[in-house]
């Protein structure tokens, strides 16, 4: 495990990880972008609230993508069953 330095809102953080350094930095960049979006709309919000708001937004994206994937998996299963029935 190694330590990767990332920048979020101008502050350095050291992340201990086995992941690729560029991947970790891209995650930090994404978080930084989300926080900057919040500050552009609500510049006076405190850091804790901004962080919670960013986490909520990222969780929302994750949950929507999971639902989309589940729907696609169901559709693939349905189409696979139909094709299997046609081949029999």
pLDDT one-digit tens code per residue, 4-32: 999 999 999 999 999 999 999 999 999 99
8 A C-beta contact, residue 11 and residue 27: no
Q: What pLDDT, in 10s, does the model give residues 28-87?
A: 999 999 999 999 999 999 999 999 999 999 999 999 999 999 999 999 999 999 999 888
Q: For the chain, give every domain's residue range.
A: 2-87
Q: Is the torsion defined by CA of 72, 74, 77, 83 positive or negative?
A: negative
Q: Is residue 88 over pLDDT 80?
A: no
pLDDT the model gives residue 40:
97
Burial class (CB in 10 A: 0-12, 13-18, 19+), 44: exposed
Burial class (CB in 10 A: 0-12, 13-18, 19+), 77: exposed
pTM of the model: 0.83
């Amino acid at each position: 495990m190694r330590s990767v330095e990332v920048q979020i809102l101008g502050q350095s953080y050291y992340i201990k990880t086995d992941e690729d350094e560029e991947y970790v930095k891209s995650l930090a960049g994404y978080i930084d972008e989300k926080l900057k979006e919040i500050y552009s709309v609500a510049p006076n919000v405190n850091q804790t609230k901004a962080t919670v708001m960013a986490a909520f937004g990222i969780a929302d994206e994750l949950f929507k993508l999971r639902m989309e994937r589940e729907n696609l998996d169901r559709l693939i299963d349905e189409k696979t069953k139909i094709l299997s029935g046609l081949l029999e």
